[in-house]
Amino acid sequence: MTATTGDLLGSGRPVWAPPAGGYWEGAWQDGRRGLIVRDPEDGAEVGRVMDATDEEADRAVAHLAARWRGHAWPLWRRREAIGHAAAALAAAEPRFAAIIAAESCKTVTEAHAEVRRAVETLRLAADAAGGLTGRTVPFDNSPRGHGWTGWYTREPLGVVAAITPFNDPLNLVAHKLGPALVAGNPVVLKPAPQTPLSALALVDLLLRGGVPGDYLAALPGRHTGAALTRNPRVDVVSFTGGPRTADRIARGGPARKLLMELGGNNALIVCADADPAQAARAVIDGAFGVAGQNCLSVQRVLVAESRYAEVVERVCAAAARLVVGSKRDPATDVGPLVSEAEAARVTAWIGEAVGGGAVLHTGGDRRGGFVTPAVLTGVPAGARLRTQEVFGPVVLLDPFRSLDEAVASANAVDTGLQAGVLTRDLQDAMAVAGALTVGAVLINSSPDFRIDAMPFGGFKRSGIGREGIEAAIDELTAPKVVAINTAPAHACRDAAGPPPADRTPEGEPLGRRLP
């Protein structure tokens, strides 16, 4: 009989122990230092992994850089390996959901949803193998191209350092590994130190599915990211996290490709013709899932004046009904934050806003690592709740008189990840969509929506490049041209006609010869 998530969580035993503390140089190894993984809900130990040293990180990168080009791994085998891992993950959903629920902030229900999304992410990555095609080059569109034929293919960029956060410890790892591997890149993964077990369990599935050890390493650690990002053998840094860390990465290594998703302070615009009940549901679902620890979380809600009082009332009533409690209880709506320190930071920001004149209508109480869902109005312009990503269960609401005012308010932050607009008016929806400086506009939805096939990323300080399977594969490959000269040089000159009077027979300007 297959064990359920509840059975695994309630067994008193670790839900899963990796073969060793990390995977590098083609083998599972413990490394010199250890790192205890603790449940953010109660501090209980749920596992142990390696805490990689700089030397171990350098060795892992050196191994991949030296071996991957010499290890033939054709596209069809890459597709099969990722596909096998997707199928194995689907079959192991209870175990993976238990791992996520044990080490992360997610409730059991949220953990199961994440496993199913990671299955889809890997499946999409395997399916995208067929799109790794190039194009012919139109040489005959230029006189200088006479006698030439050729094409370009899309080739892997090289060693990818993939750095993932704690809030989606499985699916965001799948988003890093799936596209990079199917594109033919070797990857060294650095998972969040709070949630490395989900990542290592996925790495184990990928290796069992056929990913060669010359293409994959996984190095948990508190400071591993710095060693990886300054390593000159790393060709791409793929990072999901905060802007300040991104700045350190950009400053701390050689010039190379950066692919970064840095979060957002996301706005939802509720127009006068929107249904207040629908608006309240969108706010509650978008603001308080995973205790607000989501880069797509709704943080600012801009409501037409005629609907403002009703929407505020409905949101406050619904937020007060949410169940805050243990991740293990299926009835729980809002679990803990990643640490007591983060919970204290969130309540400090709330206190700062209230001290500046904001009204706290409900929530904002802290118990250890738990914060009750907070709804505020009248948050002052300079408060951090308005200007920065809170990454906690907090939402603020403001009225607006015109759509132009709403758009200006939505754009008045230094991030631009996603935004939502609720309206029945197609013209208004399209006008707002065109005016918002964000990576995606969700019409009749909160910003907290994404399918794993869509290009994902933002403008301004929300990141560099785009993730999402096909978009990520494009980011992690580059064109390589192969051109064949099929005609002798004199034939090329004859076909092009006599050179102009101010040109040499070779076509160069008189008086100057190109190097």
Residue 248: both structure tokens together:
């350190």
> For residue 16, what pLDDT is reported?
87
Tell me the whole-structure pTM to 2 decimals.
Answer: 0.90
Q: Is the pLDDT of residue 176 over 80?
A: yes
**Residue of 410, 417, 418, 355 lying closest to 384 (CA atoms):** 355
- Sign, CA dihedral 176-178-182-187, equals positive
Please state, in angstroms and rounded to a whole number, the distance separating the CA atoms of residues 462 and 260: 8
pLDDT at residue number 15: 78
DSSP 79-128: HHHHHHHHHHHHHTHHHHHHHHHHHSS--HHHHHHHHHHHHHHHHHHHHG
Strand boundaries in 142-246, DSSP class E: 148-156, 160-163, 187-190, 216-218, 236-240
Q: State the distance between the two ends of the chain, measured CA to CA, in whole angstroms.
A: 74
DSSP assignment, residue 317? H
In order of 66, 104, 187, the CA distances from 62 in angstroms are 6, 31, 12
The three-state secondary structure class of 294 is coil
Beta bridge partners of 135: 152
d(CA 215, CA 69): 9
For 405-457, the pLDDT digits (tens) are 999 999 999 999 999 999 999 999 999 999 999 999 999 999 999 999 999 99
Residues with catalytic annotation?
Answer: 261
pLDDT at 2 over 50: no
Can you give the pLDDT at residue 496? 52
Per-residue pLDDT band at 127 (split at 50, 70, 90): very high
d(CA 209, CA 89): 11
Count of other CB atoms within 10 angstroms of residue 44: 9
Residue-level pLDDT at 513? 45
User: What pLDDT shows up at residue 117?
Assistant: 97
Indicate if the pLDDT at residue 491 is higher than 70.
no
Quick one: pLDDT at residue 487?
A: 80
Count other C-beta atoms under 10 Å from residue 279's C-beta: 25
**Average predicted confidence (pLDDT) for the chain:** 93
- In the chain the domains, ranked by start, together with CATH numbers, are 5-262+468-475 (3.40.605.10), 266-451 (3.40.309.10)
pLDDT at 40 exceeding the cut of 60: yes
- Whether the pLDDT of residue 355 is over 60: the answer is yes
Look at residue 292 and tell me whether its pLDDT is greater than 70. Answer: yes
Distance CA 92, CA 99 (A): 11
Give strand pairing partners of 370: 367
Cα 495–Cα 501–Cα 504 angle in degrees, nearest 5: 70
Q: Examine the pLDDT at 483 and tell me if it is beyond 50.
A: yes
Quote the tokens at residue 289.
Answer: 């899932």
| pLDDT exceeds 60 at position 503 | no
Identity of the amino acid at 193? P
Per-residue confidence at 9, pLDDT binned at 50, 70, 90? low
At residue 515, the pLDDT reads: 38
Is there a contact between 507 and 499 (Cβ–Cβ < 8 Å)?
yes
255 CB-near residues (< 8 Å, 6+ apart): none
Q: What's the average model confidence in pLDDT over 234-259? A: 95
pLDDT at 512: 46
pLDDT band at 493 (very low <50, low <70, confident <90, very high): low
30 versus 492: the higher-pLDDT residue is 30
Instruction: Kindly give the residue spans of alpha helices, DSSP state H, lying in 382-488.
Output: 384-387, 403-411, 426-435, 469-475
Model pLDDT, residue 471: 96
Residues 6+ positions from 439 with CB-CB distance below 8 Å: 416, 417, 418, 455, 456, 457, 458, 459, 462, 466
Rounded CA-CA distance 17/14 in Å is 7
Q: pLDDT over 70 for what percent of the chain?
A: 92
